[in-house]
Amino acid sequence: MPGYQRPGVYIQETLNPIAPIVGDSSTSIAAFLGAHTRGPVTPTLVTSWSQYTDKFGGWNTGSNNTLSLAVFLYFVNGGNAAYIKRVTAGSPVAATRTLRDRAGTPVDTLIISAANVGAWGNDINITVQDSPGLTGYFDVIVKYDGTSAANVVESFPNITMDDTDSRYAPSVINAQSAYIVVRDANSATTGANSNPSNVSNQALTTGADGTTPTAANIADSVTAFDFVNNSLIINAPGVTAAAPVNVLLAYAGTRTDAFVVIDPINDTVANQLTLAQTYTATSYGACYYPPISINDPTNTTPGTVIAAANPGGAVIGKYAATDKSRGVFKAPAGLSTRISGAVGIRNLTNSELDALNASPAPVNAIRFITGSGIVIMGARTLKPGYSDMYVPVRRTLIYLEKALVDLTNFAVFEPNDTVLYRRISATLTSFLTNFWSQGGLRGTTPDGAFFVLCDSTNNTLASVEAGQVNIQVGVALQRPAEFIVINIGQFDGGTTVTVA
């Protein structure tokens, strides 16, 4: 603080340029939900395929890898973050084992459970041994899917059942383990005798999967994402029936900040279009067709192919990659959207492509294009004939609505006067000018791209007395160039080409 020595008025100049910062909630994040044999049952954020395998175990030992394949294709196609909701049904149970202490008459001391429900936990084996050279402490060794030294997945050395010690077993294990959670049975035994007795390769037991979740179970669980503030791009891999899909679409429409990517059926174009017309006609979702063939990542045998994989995960990956490289205003379609991992796809005739795009419930085609590979060649929502019929239009509106909320949160409980109105107008104008300069809005100048109205004309005395601040924003949204029409005419001496 400057030293003021004589009475008077002093001026300090501080320049605070308007620098709108859009909150994290404006950024879209993928959200996958489906059945799996292992993993948390609450929505869990993962930022890479390796992190997914750590938390959910990667591939199922059985044949149902629908969820894992979608997540895998998402990350190999440019995805960067995703919430995963493992859906269960019936009465799944976590595998457990209770260890007894070292008292003369042993009692329960440490209760060990699998990190989450399912029969997978029955393949966890626990070894307890004295810590070498450290009296009164013990080690816990966790093995998975076998009992040899090669199956050790975690080790917790030098821990104790003394809850006053920094190496208290529940605190150490529960903070680090991806396989088990433990709790203290609170035996009356004290000192080193409260530690569990040594055991070798004792398996956890009684883990159960419950029943196989239905498509309805999966769709109904979408409300688990209620706590997520980010905009969501939702996919329930392999869920295609009208009733559960419409549940997902209704959820997205109610939130107004979510979008649903719907997988195709492995059937004819005609049957796909018939099914799509049973979906709610909304701009909060889009359907893609047909399934894709991919190299089987679950099989080490070269040349093994999954002939009809759901493309939804790959499509959302391309959404994320396009958002990062261009912005939400760019349609996630075109020659730059080659699907990584795809090795084959059924050929579609021109009449089939026409039918998919022009249907009352449009379905976006995935095609092989010579020189580009297997790419997404459609960007329509399920709501044809309206201004938000295109995927980038709806997603731009989702982005802008979220961003404008983030940018105006500061105004809550500020004095409701012209100073606040000017500050709001300046903040939003700065943000929208930047968005326009990136190509997000139409118009050769900012005045032609958007307007922001927040002044005394729409904030009357009545609205001020009601505690309201009214802001009106208009934007000229970009629409994709879906059809390139070339008119060719003949004239003497050559050919003239007019591009419209």
96-203 is a CATH 3.40.50.300 domain: no
* pLDDT of 499 over the 90 cut: no
What average pLDDT does this structure show over 454-482?
Answer: 93
User: What average pLDDT does the segment 312-327 reach?
Assistant: 96
Does 3 score more than 90 pLDDT?
no
**Which of residues 463 and 490 earns the better pLDDT score?**
463
Residue whose structure tokens are 């105004």? 411
Q: What is the 3-state secondary structure (H, E, C) of the chain?
A: CCCCCCCCCCCCCCCCCCCCCCCHHHCEEEEEEEECCCCCCCCEEECCHHHHHHHHCCCCCCCCCHHHHHHHHHHHCCCCCEEEEEECECCCEECEEEEEECCCCCCEEEEEEECCCEHHHHHEEEEEEECCCCCCCEEEEEEECCCCHHHEEEEEEEEECCCCCCCEHHHHHHHHCCCEEEEECCCCCCHHHHCECCEEEEECECCECCECCCHHHHHHHHHHHHHCCCEEEEECCCCCCHHHHHHHHHHHHHHCCEEEEECCCCCCHHHHHHHHCCCCCCCCEEEEECCEEEECCCCCCCCCEEEEECCHHHHHHHHHHHHHHCCCCCCCCCCCCECCCEEECCCCCHHHHHHHHHCCCCCEEEEEECCCEEEECCCECCCCCCCCCEHHHHHHHHHHHHHHHHHHHHHCCCCCCHHHHHHHHHHHHHHHHHHHHCCCECCCCHHHHEEEECCCCCCCHHHHHCCCCCCEEEECECCCCCCCCEEEEEECCEEEEEEC
For the chain, the domains span: 24-89+212-392, 96-203, 412-500
Q: Please say if the pLDDT value at position 382 is more than 60.
A: yes
Mean pLDDT over 341-352 rounds to 96
Burial (CB < 10 A; 0-12, 13-18, 19+), residue 257, is buried
pLDDT-derived band at 303 (thresholds 50, 70, 90) equals confident
Question: Is the pLDDT reported for residue 20 higher than 80?
Answer: no
pLDDT score for 389: 94
The pLDDT of residue 500 is 47
- 484 against 77, higher pLDDT: 77
* Alpha carbons within 13 A on the beta-carbon side of 7: 0
Q: Label residue 262 exposed, middle or buried (CB < 10 Å: 0-12, 13-18, 19+).
A: buried
pLDDT tens digits, 39-67: 999 999 999 999 999 999 989 876 689 99
Between 289 and 480, the more confident residue is 289
Which range is least confidently modeled, 133-137, 272-276, 312-316? 133-137
Distance CA 377, CA 334 (A): 5
**pTM for this model (two decimals):** 0.90
- Tens of pLDDT, residue by residue over 97-114, are 999 999 999 999 999 999
Of the ranges 89-93, 340-344, 368-372, 495-499, which one carries the lowest mean pLDDT score? Answer: 495-499
List, in sequence order, every residue forming a beta bridge with 140; answer none if it has no partner: 128, 156
**pLDDT tens digit sequence for 143-202:** 999 999 999 999 999 999 999 999 999 999 999 999 999 999 999 999 999 999 999 999
Q: Per-residue confidence at 328, pLDDT binned at 50, 70, 90?
A: very high
Percent of the chain with pLDDT over 70: 93
Contact yes or no for 313/71 (Cβ under 8 A): yes
Determine the Cα–Cα distance for residues 173 and 155; give it in Å rounded to an integer: 9
CA-CA distance, 479 to 487, in Å (whole number)?
Answer: 22
Fold observed for domain 24-89+212-392: Rossmann fold (3.40.50)
Intrachain domains 24-89+212-392 and 96-203 with the same fold: no
